[in-house]
Amino acid sequence: MTDQTSIFALSATNSLIGLAVYVLLVVALWRVFTKAGYPGWLAIIPIVNLVFLTKIAGFSGWFALLYIIPIVGFVFYIIVSIRVGRAFGHGWFFSIVLLVLLHVIGYLILAFSSDTYRAERI
């Protein structure tokens, strides 16, 4: 039998971890957006940050609607990640491992490294 207090404590812990990950991702995306020439505060708004990440990848912002379609959205996420990595001078391996699988770490690396955004690399 599960104790009600234990469930509440576990839920609170998960919420704090989720909030910490979200804050780290916002900090990283803020810097990435700034490097790409967009206002950094756009990283705070959950769906808007996907639209502008899609723009950084060289697509129209309307392509962000592809994230809604289940399998297509995942494939599009991989394509956007590869193109964002390429725009910052990294190859496909960096993009797949760090921008798709470990996205918080990957975007922190893009944000705080000396990499520069160049749209012509895409």
The pLDDT assigned to 82 comes to: 96
The pLDDT assigned to 100 comes to: 94
Mean pLDDT in each 10-residue stretch from start to end of the chain (122 residues)? 66 86 96 96 94 96 95 96 96 94 95 94 88
Hunting for tokens 């639209």 — which residue is that? Answer: 51
The residue extents of the domains of the chain are: 4-121
The pLDDT assigned to 33 comes to: 97
The pLDDT assigned to 13 comes to: 82
The pLDDT assigned to 3 comes to: 66
d(CA 41, CA 58): 20
d(CA 44, CA 26): 6
The pLDDT assigned to 76 comes to: 97
Q: What is the pTM assigned to this prediction?
A: 0.88
